Structure 1
Amino acid sequence: MATQTAATSMAAALAASLPAPSAAPVTTAPTYEAIPASMSKVIDIEAEIPLHTVQLDGLVATKILKHAREAPASTAHGLLLGLDLDGVLEVSNSFPLPHGGDDDDKATKSLARYQGSMLRSLREVQSDDSVVGFYQATSLGAFFNQSIIDTQAIHQDKLRHGGVVVVHDITQTARGNTSFRAFRLTASFLDAYKKSNFSSASLISHRLTFSSILEEVPLKVRANPLLSSFLGALAEPSSSPELGGGSKTSETFPPNFHVLELGATGLTRNLEQMVEAIDNYRTEEGNIAYLSRQIARERAKAENYVAKRKEENQARVAQGLAPLPEEDVTRLFKIPPEPSRLESLLLLGQIDAYAKSLGGTAGAGLVKMYGAKAGSGGV
């Protein structure tokens, strides 16, 4: 007992002789100064790196597939969210946009309110809310239309890297081949679009054809490891515990022999769409020819008027009289402007897409028929 008391007093004396422990240092929170708006573009290093790849997350691909399947016809469209890093546009999320109604002005305002509400909600849950483009469902690969051009032109003017439009072909999905392609407007077309000049001279100077309106950006779909493992587990046969664990049940994903059917799925619809596009192109070309003839007649009248006034002034000068004042021809003759050929370019793009889809369908059907013939022993 005496030994224990001595040890306690010695420990107390040692503790009293040691210096008092210093208080823990208080960490101060770092302060950040806001970047001035005038300097935000100067220090944006990512903006200097050109975009070369679009990486679509697997979740985004499934959301687009679901929206395209549930939406009527090919009206499915929505916004893509993500970020661009080292020249790769990483699309990590998306949300669908409602289809516009009959009243364009009212539908546009409603769409803007919905879009703003969705972005605010994503920001509140700390999810990606940076718009990097939009997606559009299409049929038979014919995605050339005025709506896509106008929307993409706005994105390339407002977004840092211009954004992309991801086109999803629902007909290819119905055939078992999921199709996602990313596009951007070319610089030459964007220059003509900003000037609103698609006359013949402008098309020649910008070297524009239907194939040079959009440029394709390489796209790849990224599936995270958990999703890949889940799909792999679904595809494997599973054992049944009720049967002792030794028997194997059928696969969750049964084999699909739909691609081996000899019937040309959608071939008739493809032909109908192509004929309709060709008719629309011929109508548009007829309208352009009619307006061109009107322009030629008005110009001829103006040129004849100028020639007559010039001859009359020469005669008056020869007689010693003062020449008549020259009048503004544009006020006397209303020469209409040259019609835009943008609609013709878009229709040619649609015809080309329908032709390629028809060629692919016909080629696959021909191979199936030859294979069936060989398998049946025919010569």
Structure 2
Amino acid sequence: MAAAIAASLPAPQAASAPAAPIHEPIPASMAKLIDIEAEIPLKYVQLEGLVISKIVKHSSESHSSVHGLLLGLDLDGTLEVTNSFPLPHNLGDEDEKSSKTTSRYQTAMLRSLKEVRADDSVVGFYQSTTMGAFYSQTIIDTQAIHQEKLRQGGVVVVHDLSRANRGNASFRAFRLSKDFLDAYRRPPFSAKSMISHKLTFNSIMEEIPLKIRTNPLLSAFVSTLSERHLSPLAEPTPAEVYRTSLHPLYSTLNLGNPTLTKNLENVVEAIDNYKTEEGNLAYHTRQIAREKARAEAYIAKQKEENANRLAQGLAPLPEDDVSRLFKIPPEPSRLESMMLLGQVDAYAKTLEGTSSLSLVKMYAARAGTDAGRDSP
């Protein structure tokens, strides 16, 4: 997905000689609102109700994680997201053919939106996730491309499917922090770079406040659905005296929690992946240290031999290129282990929330049972 978005986004143009302006100057009262130079920092993201509906629909219809582009405009420090469209999901996302197909689809969609006078300015992308764990190499690569090419840097809106299935729509907006982006653009992502930039898994992304705006027509429609009204029946039962179009949900009273087991499995799997990655890093570190020791021993031996030749009045031997004789591997990147730590933290926080809610339900049910037994 990152390669497809990079191909479709406009490439930065070389600076040319400024031409004489032929338009009227911008009024002082509108200078801050228009913000052509993107000098006003981004304060919060505003999602339209249409965008929320599209993301929820796209996520609910797919059995895997989905992604798409966000369209809109930034005004006076507010990134207004007014429209979105999904991108095709390809199994071989890194394959060149699938990347070109996604790029052509994205270009055609933006061209069609421009023809009908709809918003066609890319301001970010959205990604669905489960149980709060959204750190991945694809998201970081795509967001890095956006922050390099888009005017305000763009954002990634994360939609949590596990919370949506429980009736709580979860939308959060993020973008890469400046310190992480600086270290990311200077490979390798080594331990020294992490220490110098003071990076942890919590400092990869910075969250931006998010607001949801619905139009008055939709708000009025929802209010009519939830408003209580008298039953049209001639002799209604006490339970049918008042009715609403939105029926009450009793799933919250269920003491069972089907996602708790899956959450525990995800925590264990993420910890195992982290241990495997740490083992690989330790192996590469030992290999680097072994090759460096061999190179240093060879240099010391060469210096000693040249010193003996000088003592005997002989010309010293030419120094060999150590980098050619000993292939010292580069230091491995620590980005993967940092992202795995972020996934473990996200799964643990979700587990804390779901388990605490289940404990509250169990104590409430026990209290109700004990009160029923004590009553005459």
* TM-score, L = length of structure 2: 0.86
CA distance in 1, matches of 2:354, 2:232: 45
1:79/1:198 CA distance change after superposition, 3 Å:
same
CA distance in 2, matches of 1:321, 1:256: 94
* Aligned equivalent of 1:254: 247
- 1:43-92 CA-partner distances (Å, limit 9, x unpaired): 9545000001001111111111111100112x211100110011010111
C-alpha contact 1:134 1:166 (8 A) present in aligned 2: yes
RMSD (CA atoms):
2.1
C-alpha contact 2:35 2:75 (8 A) present in aligned 1: no
* Aligned equivalent of 1:25: none
Using the TM superposition, name which of 255-264 and 144-153 deviates more.
255-264
C-alpha contact 1:46 1:86 (8 A) present in aligned 2: no
- 1:128-180 CA-partner distances (Å, limit 9, x unpaired): 11110000000010000111001101111110110000000000011121100
- 1:181-221 CA-partner distances (Å, limit 9, x unpaired): 00000111111111222111111111111111000000011
CA distance in 1, matches of 2:120, 2:163: 30
Q: Cα distance, 1:236 vs. partner? A: 1.8
1:339/1:34 CA distance change after superposition, 3 Å:
farther
CA distance in 2, matches of 1:376, 1:207: 53
- Aligned-residue sequence identity (percent) comes to 64
CA distance in 2, matches of 1:185, 1:165: 9
Query: What is the SS of the residue equivalent to 2:185?
Result: helix
Within the candidate set 83, 104, 116, 1:93 is matched to: 83
CA distance in 2, matches of 1:285, 1:239: 64
C-alpha contact 1:182 1:218 (8 A) present in aligned 2: yes
Q: Cα distance, 1:321 vs. partner? A: 1.1
C-alpha contact 1:123 1:129 (8 A) present in aligned 2: yes
Within the candidate set 327, 339, 349, 2:342 is matched to: 349
Which residue type is aligned with residue 72 of structure 2? G
* Aligned equivalent of 2:15: none
CA distance in 1, matches of 2:104, 2:115: 17
* TM-score, L = length of structure 1: 0.85
1:250/1:214 CA distance change after superposition, 3 Å:
same
* Aligned equivalent of 2:237: none
Q: Cα distance, 1:102 vs. partner? A: 2.6
Is 1:180 the equivalent of 2:164?
A: no
CA distance in 2, matches of 1:89, 1:83: 6
Is 1:111 the equivalent of 2:102?
A: yes
Query: What is the SS of the residue equivalent to 1:71?
Result: coil
* Aligned equivalent of 1:269: 262
Rg larger in 1 or in 2?
Answer: 1
**Structure-to-structure mapping, 1:1-379, within 5 angstroms:** 33=22, 44-45=35-36, 47-73=38-64, 75-102=65-92, 104-238=95-229, 250-377=243-370
Query: What is the SS of the residue equivalent to 1:114?
Result: helix
Which residue type is aligned with residue 335 of structure 1? I
1:72/1:34 CA distance change after superposition, 3 Å:
farther
1:88/1:373 CA distance change after superposition, 3 Å:
same
Q: Cα distance, 1:270 vs. partner? A: 0.5
CA distance in 2, matches of 1:182, 1:46: 23
1:363/1:303 CA distance change after superposition, 3 Å:
same
* Aligned equivalent of 1:29: none
1:100/1:34 CA distance change after superposition, 3 Å:
farther
* Aligned equivalent of 1:24: none
- Structure 1: which 5+ runs fail to align? 1-31, 36-42
CA distance in 2, matches of 1:180, 1:116: 26
C-alpha contact 1:134 1:164 (8 A) present in aligned 2: yes
- 1:319-344 CA-partner distances (Å, limit 9, x unpaired): 11111111111011000001111100
* Aligned equivalent of 2:6: none
Aligned residue pair count? 338
Which residue type is aligned with residue 172 of structure 2? R
Q: Cα distance, 1:259 vs. partner? A: 1.4
